[in-house]
Structure 1
Amino acid sequence: MRPDPSIVHVGKYYYMVNSTFEYYPGITLARSIDLLNWETLPSVATKHSQADLTKSKSNEGIFAVCIRYHNDKFYVITTNFAEFKTFIITGSLTADGNISWDERININVNGIDPDIFFEGDHTYVQYTGYLESGKKALQQVEIELDTGRILDGPKVLTAGTGGRDVEGPHIIKKSDYYYLLAAEGGTGLGHMITIFRSKSIWGPFESCPTNPIFTNRDRADEPLQNIGHGDLFQDENKNWWLVCLGTRPININFKTFTNTGRETLLYPVDWNGDWPVVNKGVPTETVDMSEFPEHAKTLQPQNLNDFTDSFKNGILNPEWVSLRNSLNDRLTIERDNLTLTSSDSTLSDIDTPSFLGLRQTEPDETFEIELNVDNCQLTDGQIGVAVTIDSTHFASLTIKKNENDHFDLVKTVHVFDLVVEEKIAEINKLPKKFSIINHPSNKEFLVQTIDNKNLGFKVAAMHFSNEAISALNTGDILGIYALGTDSKLSVNKARRFPINKEE
């Protein structure tokens, strides 16, 4: 789940940002030296003054993000839909190689999906604007960079080629032309990337004769779908690349759905002519890089490591996310141990429940935690694991103490207005391990008891898919969950790994 990618090359690193919607902290940031192996860095928006997500509904919050570098500073521009504010956050490299992010600068535009473009002393912002008719069009303003004050505009640049929901603009200047990259067709099966150009940054913009330049809207058999929302950039050798989003839907009994959400894809671009040609025009699952030998020089073999967190350094790994706000007042991280204190908020509340999660990255994948039973505490609460895709579609396996001082295993499944909560077993002592085993067709929730018995339940994966919620913004988040009063879940190790790598 890394949607709406944008990349900038600075020094030896490529920096990428992605949208995070209602998840905290806001705006995922990662860096790479070879475009295939990425290190997740601390996120950009960590304070309410930068982006207040506390009232964000599901699939709201941080919308499309763009990152650029100008005069020794990073500029990240986005919209927080929960506040309906478009803003810029400026960052500076620190001596230790991290980035320090400033307070935001608001831009008073009526729209989403902003882009920022610098030329000389001028700063331009492109965005998806809402017209009085209710339709969308790509618009532009010139701003005063230090204050966000609008100096010129807004002006409509294009309404697109006729596809619905023209969005995701990016301006790239090449060979005396301003190229305007766009997404059309809506974030779904009709998604596509289109491009326009003009001799003036204010237009008029002409459409590429072969628009759309990248889409699988008419290729139902391709394993990648919903291709769109791209960004063009150059590598250290001046080769052009496209980064975009797409999905990997699975087909179960003639039903197609997605649990991993929208993901980041990378393709080589041939831009020797007037218009860019992306991977020969077809969004394939793999690319034969022997056909792009100059591009291939940037790449290294990809190493998709399992995620393992043993909480050794006392700092929360930036892969973890919570809902809408920080969990700092409920989290304790000590050597080899993380403890999460419960709250009364549930995953159905527009609030910040005691839920700490990781993105599901593969259809066949296991998330597991090893308990520190000596530090766990159960009074009037429940502790366990959960999966969520929005506030009306989630499931959990938790334990709670019963009147016999034993522990009930509680199954909870919430699918829109259908809610199941039931006791499925009883155990005498706290378990050793919780797991969520993701299969293409189902999700299996398990506890491993001290005598190595596995107890739990299965539920159809389709209930927690993008298609089930009719939204493609996020995918499934798998995590630890502590609910109720005065209870604590203590974990020695958390892992996420493909099932074919299971030890």
Structure 2
Amino acid sequence: MVTAYTNPILRGMHPDPSIVRVADTFYLVNSTFEYYPGISLSKSTDLLNWTPVNSVITKKSQADLTQAKSNEGIFAVCIRYFNNAFYVITTNFAEFKSFIIRGVLTDTGEIHWDDERITLNIQGIDPDLYFENGRTYVEFTGYIDDKGTKAIQQAEINLIDGSILHGPKVISYGTGGRDIEGPHIIKKDHTYYLLTAEGGTGIGHMITIFKSSSLWGPFNDSEQINPLFTNRDRANEPLQNIGHADLFQDQQNWWLTCLGTRPANVGFTQITNLGRETLLYPVNWDSTWPKVYTGVPNQNVDLTNFPQHAAALAQPQIKTSFVDTFATKHLSPEWLSLRNSLGTDLSLTPGSLTLKGRDFSLSQAATPAFLGIRQTEQQEHFKVWLDPTKTIINSGKIGIASLINNDHYAAILLQKKQGKYQVLRYQKVADLEFTDILGETTELPITLELINQPATKTFQVKTTNQEFSFTTSSLHFSNEAIAALNTGDIQGIYAIGAARLVINKAERTSN
């Protein structure tokens, strides 16, 4: 029995969580925006410790992300289980199409996802799936007039081909908060509940709820219930921007998962580098309306007053580091590229990973030779061990980079000049780009490192006898810098042009 745990349960960029239980296993999906593979998937048997597994979208026939701009691509995701199959519904903003992908459990415990999607003829985002009496319903948020008015709408669809059978019909305008979104329908005790998010994905974000005796509404709330869960007026709480929730059950208890951020206090400001993360809270639903935890989205969750929830948590929460020595022929699902597969430019052999350079840069809406993992802590160390015997720079460049979008990133790179290796600082901040030569070395480095701190990022190259580094402000890689809260910082290896980067190990550890 676990009596306390700490949020987030999934750290780093894991927004828009949705959870479904099948037998004794929970499955969790998150939005991935322009990163590939699309729709991250994790599973757990204890709710606190999650194992990343192969993502849902791995083919263009499922979703074409090649034209996705920064902070676009795969928006909010929902996962449900119906008639012995998984159904994931989402919107690819790059195509502005909402669709469903079906998956089935194999004998090995993996999920095989269909190569083809079921496209829906709806004009909106944040779709939800609800099944009842053999029928399928989709809830989504969209504009209903030319004045920018948003509302939650609902349609009955044909699950085979996605055609609309009835609707869409507006079922809620929310409480009046801006950007009503993220709908989920839950049925309990013959009553339908509509869970939504309002206030925009920022400091005004909040979770709201409504109920109805009919699936088609009207959905109403009460003066005392909304907002159901928020920290919009609690600036001192370490978790902020609480919203986009899903309600689900274990064998006997109700839980709520939602997104939130952990801003870093830097001087008199707060900045967000980690993106939106996945949180978990116990729910008491003994009366008409659910009560989420104590009503306050705390970082540390005390289950003293939730003994049944505590009893359901069989394993204590374990915080682990990321270490990859490439011991298997399959790439860890934690690695991400941009917009598409790296194809044959990425290869694995026992004990090493090879990344061939491409002519695309991180500035372009393309698929550069970049392979990264999420930054998960404000104080964190990312490090890769180079194989100098197999790494070839030629006329290209190799290094490591950190980015939040294609206009805000930095890299420490090596290029070959007249028999020596120049170490470069390359950085882009909005429309400002600059390159500095940090020094020269006669040998390839042993390690490439990134030291993340709340206020700074330090990039380092270490050879046998030399060290080169530069430090820049974390603000340049923050959600505040790009005026958007969709993504978080991704750190990884980067190769440009006629270069081949070979590493033997990659590691992410918190300081």
> TM-score when scaled to structure 1?
0.98
| Contact in 2 for aligned 1:77/1:114 (Cα 8 Å) | yes
Whole-angstrom distance in 2 between the partners of 1:321 and 1:298 = 33
1:476 maps to a residue whose letter is D
The question of 1:165 aligning with 2:161 is answered no
- Comparing both chains, which one has the higher relative contact order based on Cα–Cα distances under 8 Å and sequence gaps of 6 or more? 2
For residue 141 of structure 1, the aligned residue among 141, 150, 155 is 155
Residues 20-39 of structure 1 correspond to what in structure 2 (within 5 A)? 20-39=32-51
Corresponding residue of 2:90: 78
Shift, 1:208, TM fit: 3.6
- Deviation digits for residues 435-482 of structure 1 (CA, Å, limit 9, x no counterpart): 00100110000011112x331100001110011000000100000000
Instruction: Answer yes or no: is the 8 Å Cα contact 1:171–1:179 preserved in 2.
Output: yes
1:239-297 deviation digits (Å, cap 9, x = unpaired): 00000000000111112101100000000001001001101211111111111110012
Q: Which structure 1 segments of 5+ residues have no match?
A: none
Matched, 1:377 2:377: no
CA drift of 1:131 comes to 1.1
The residue that corresponds to 1:90 in the other structure is: 102
SS in structure 2 of the partner of residue 491 of structure 1: strand
Q: 1:126 aligns with which of 132, 139, 142?
A: 139
What letter corresponds to residue 123 of structure 2 in structure 1? N
The structural deviation recorded for 1:334 is: 0.2
- Per the alignment, residue 412 of structure 1 pairs with 426
Q: Which residue of 1 aligns with 2:10?
A: none
**Alignment-derived partner of residue 284 in structure 2:** 270
Q: What is the match of residue 481 of structure 1?
A: 494
> Contact 1:195–1:208 at 8 Å: present in 2 too?
no
Instruction: Give the distance between the partners of 1:368 and 1:151, measured in 2 at CA.
Output: 53
Matched with 1:402 is: 417
Equivalent-residue separation in structure 1 for 2:173 and 2:390 (angstroms): 58
**Are residue 462 (structure 1) and residue 462 (structure 2) matched?**
no
- Secondary structure in structure 1 of the residue aligned to 2:388: coil
- Counterparts in 2 of 1:267-416, with a 5 A limit? 267-299=281-313, 300-403=315-418, 405-416=419-430
CA distance, structure 2, for counterparts of residue 282 and residue 175 of structure 1: 26
Cα distance in 2 between the residues matched to 1:35 and 1:212: 25
Could you tell which deviates more after superposition, 125-134 or 158-167?
125-134
Whether the 8 Å CA contact 1:431–1:448 is kept in 2: the answer is yes
Which 5+ residue runs of structure 2 have no aligned equivalent?
1-12
Using the alignment, how far apart are the partners of 2:344 and 2:97 within structure 1? 27
Does the aligned pair in 2 maintain the 1:311–1:333 contact within 8 Å? yes
Deviation digits for residues 329-388 of structure 1, max 9, x if unmatched? Answer: 201100100000001100000000000000000000011000011110111100010001
Q: Which amino acid aligns with 1:135?
A: T
Per-residue deviation, 1:130? 1.5
Letter in 1 for 2:331: L
Q: Matched residues in 2 for 1:109 and 1:309: separation?
A: 42
Name the amino acid aligned to 1:487. A
Alignment of 1:215-254 (within 5 A): 215-236=230-251, 238-254=252-268
> Which residue among 217, 221, 228 is the counterpart of 1:203?
217
In 1, distance between residues paired with 2:332 and 2:134?
Answer: 39
Tell me the CA shift for residue 12 of structure 1.
Answer: 1.5
Shift, 1:298, TM fit:
2.1
Determine if contact 1:194/1:208 at 8 Å carries over to the other structure.
no
SS of residue in 2 equivalent to 1:291: coil
Letter in 2 for 1:242: L
**Aligned residues: CA RMSD:** 0.7
Q: Mean alpha-carbon deviation: is it higher for 146-155 or for 296-305?
A: 296-305
- The CA deviation at 1:420 is 1.5
* 1:320 Cα offset (Å): 0.2
For 1:341, the aligned partner's letter is K
Post-superposition Cα deviations, 1:84-129, rounded to whole Å, max 9, x if no partner, equal 0000000000010000001210010000000000001211000002
